[in-house]
Amino acid sequence: MIKAVVFDLDHTLFDRYATFTKIFNECDLSGVPFCEGVTREQALEAFIYTDRHFIHNLKPWHAMFEQLVKQGILRDDVISIDDFYYTCLVPHFKKISVPFDFTIPTLRKLREMGFKLGLITNGKHDLQYAKIANVGLTDEFDEIVVSGDVGAQKPSTVPYEIMAQRLNIAPNEMLYVGDNPKNDVEASRKAGYIPVWVRTTGTWIFPEIEKPELQVDTVAELPELIKGLM
């Protein structure tokens, strides 16, 4: 019997592509080391492409940075990968995060159906809670586990174990919903949860990991999917 639904954040409950688009349209990007002649439109298209294809790598921002350099979008002789992420991107992510329009209605529908709700997300406390606040999710969960607060990040099973303890629900009575094959699907499965893969990016770069039986295009499909399991 399913008693709780626990979620990933990025690419699951908020729209990274819409977020990139808003950042590129509204923010001062003068500190980003674009190659000469690259337009904002070209850069945005490249950022979304690299995010879609490389965000699931073991070091996603390193992989994305390297691809953007190869594509002639970014220079790598004036800034390090870490400076690029923490100086050029994180300040904007703290201010702008665009939710999917179905996120909050779906969470509230699941709560009406009687489920406890949880969120497990990798990252530092200030950045992840800024994202959570930006998309209006601060009060939508019974428990939130941010990796930076617990000293372990997905794909470690520790955040999943902490969530189960906090909710006081057995892992096999919870769904875990996320887009990342390794961090979300495999890790939650190892922790005893029932994984649900959200096909946001459509990429599955880990052939050694078995795809889960339960899959959705968006979390909006979850209420009907769960009804089918009951």
Please give the pLDDT value at position 80: 85
Please give the pLDDT value at position 186: 97
HSE-up (13 A, CA, CB side) for residue 123: 22
| Average pLDDT value for the chain | 93
The reply to whether 57 falls in a domain is: yes
Residue ranges making up the domain that contains 80: 28-95
CATH number (domain holding residue 212): 3.40.50.1000
The reply to whether 21 falls in a domain is: no
Same domain, 124 and 201: yes
Helix (H, G, I), strand (E, B) or coil at 32: coil
Please give the pLDDT value at position 122: 94
Please give the pLDDT value at position 77: 86
Domain total in the chain = 2
The phi-psi region of residue 151 (left if phi > 0; otherwise alpha if psi is between -120 and 50; otherwise beta) is left
**Of residues 168, 163, 171, the one with CA closest to residue 144:** 163
pLDDT tens for each residue of 148-192: 999 999 999 999 999 999 999 999 999 999 999 999 999 999 999
pLDDT tens for each residue of 44-75: 999 999 998 888 888 888 899 999 999 999 99
Name the amino acid, one letter, at 10: D
Same domain, 103 and 213: yes
Please give the pLDDT value at position 74: 93
Residue 230 predicted with pLDDT over 80: no
Contact between residue 13 and residue 103 where contact means Cβ atoms under 8 Å apart = yes
pLDDT tens for each residue of 96-108: 999 899 999 999 9
Same domain, 130 and 201: yes
